[in-house]
Structure 1
Amino acid sequence: MAKRRASSPLTLAVLACLAQRPMHPYEMATTMRDQHHDSAVKINFGSLYNAVETLRKSQLIDVQSTGRQGNRPERTIYEITEDGREELAQRLRELLSTPMKEYTLLAAGLTFMTALSPDDVAAQLALRAHRLEKEVERDREELRLSSEGDKDRAPLPRLFLVEDEYQLALKETELTWVRGLLQDISSQSLDGVEEWRELHAARRIR
């Protein structure tokens, strides 16, 4: 079997849904949202239908049936194949066991930040830290409500919240790191910051 035919998070989410039971695409999207998959996967119907078609062509899923209820549009129900189950298991093992290089937008910004002046970068990092503080505060409260429940919803087992815990931990770590970098730039203790500042001063003189 070819490797990594379910290479995107959305194709993986489709396989995970169909491993539960056969579904049509609208039900897949609803299930993903109900099970909080949208915290890790960007869900929109255009991309979802493309993912379904990619998996069908790869023979990881197949059409189980088509039907129509009343005046509603015809719906196609899909089911996972044995190759699809094997692909899902293989891909999950790979994702859980193997650290992979991720090309984040923040990393790109940091790589090229010297195109801005140190003061400008410090201002942007301060803004990012402020926004992260708000997000961390919000995410902590949402995680607490999900785990404890309230009058409108029952508490969720931690099993279904580990991805939210992970996202929160990433934001908390990033906030700590951004604050440290901001302090180093502002205090001139970052190695190379003086040359960086002189470079931008020379550009202004020209």
Structure 2
Amino acid sequence: MGDVKSYGSDCFFVDQWYARHKSGTPDVQGRTMLSERAREFPEFPAALAFMLVLPPDEVRAALEERLSFLRARLSELEADLTEGGRFLPRVFLVESEYQRAVLGAELDHVRGLVDDLLRTTAYDVLRISRGRPVEGGGRLVR
């Protein structure tokens, strides 16, 4: 097995690892990546902040679009895992299993947001954005 650094800048996480550890072998890198939680910055959590500045109908439509994508991707992963599980040992499927778990959690979270938005009026959203409590059971405020 060659030096992991040979993957170059195409592999951002490898470059980050080398910046922290300065040297190493693939087995050391693998152990480190398995044991340390990387600082990742996915775009979606940052995008959630825009819920307060977009019209509620637009937010709901965008989230419903995301739900459709998540359902489709989850379905693809399920099919791939079912097919792969017929002839591959689980160790070869763990990345897809992880993706399935993360997608499933995101799907549940987004579904809950959409459900809350369906029960919350535009007026309630304005009240929430101004820090006022919502009467009548708006769940976006805890």
* TM over 0.5, shorter chain: yes
- 8 Å contact from structure 1 (residues 117, 197) kept in 2: no
Per-residue CA deviation, residues 119-149 of structure 1 (Å, 9 max, x unaligned), is: 110111011111111111111001111111x
Distance (Å, rounded) in 2 between the aligned partners of 1:49 and 1:99: 22
Q: Which structure has the highest strand share of the two?
A: 1
- Give the fraction of aligned pairs with identical amino acids, expressed as a percent: 31
- 8 Å contact from structure 2 (residues 67, 107) kept in 1: yes
The residue number in structure 2 matching 1:174 is 106
Q: Which structure has the highest helix share of the two?
A: 2
Distance (Å, rounded) in 2 between the aligned partners of 1:121 and 1:182: 9
135 and 101 in structure 1: CA distance in 2 versus 1, 3 angstrom threshold: same
Q: TM-score with structure 1 length normalisation?
A: 0.49
84 and 111 in structure 1: CA distance in 2 versus 1, 3 angstrom threshold: same
**Pairs within 5 Å for 1:84-163:** 84-85=24-25, 88-148=26-86, 155-163=87-95
- 8 Å contact from structure 2 (residues 52, 129) kept in 1: no
- Once the 2 structures are TM-superposed, how far is the Cα of residue 185 of structure 1 from its aligned partner? 1.4
- Once the 2 structures are TM-superposed, how far is the Cα of residue 115 of structure 1 from its aligned partner? 2.3
Q: Structure 1: give runs of 5+ residues left out of the alignment.
A: 1-16, 20-24, 26-47, 59-82, 149-154, 199-206
CA RMSD of aligned residues (A): 3.1
1:127 is matched by which residue type in structure 2?
E
- Once the 2 structures are TM-superposed, how far is the Cα of residue 186 of structure 1 from its aligned partner? 1.4
The residue number in structure 1 matching 2:97 is 165
The residue number in structure 2 matching 1:18 is 2
Per-residue CA deviation, residues 80-129 of structure 1 (Å, 9 max, x unaligned), is: xxx542xx344333322233442111112112332211111011101111
The residue number in structure 2 matching 1:201 is none
Q: Which ranges of 4 or more aligned residues in structure 1 deviate by more than 4 Å?
A: 48-52
- 8 Å contact from structure 1 (residues 118, 196) kept in 2: no
- 8 Å contact from structure 1 (residues 122, 185) kept in 2: yes
Distance (Å, rounded) in 1 between the aligned partners of 2:95 and 2:46: 24
Q: Structure 2: give runs of 5+ residues left out of the alignment.
A: 131-142
- 8 Å contact from structure 1 (residues 146, 156) kept in 2: yes
The residue number in structure 2 matching 1:75 is none
Partner SS for 1:18: coil
1:174 is matched by which residue type in structure 2?
E
Structure 1, 90-99 or 175-184: larger mean CA deviation: 90-99
Count residues in correspondence. Answer: 119
- 8 Å contact from structure 2 (residues 77, 100) kept in 1: yes
- 8 Å contact from structure 1 (residues 188, 194) kept in 2: no
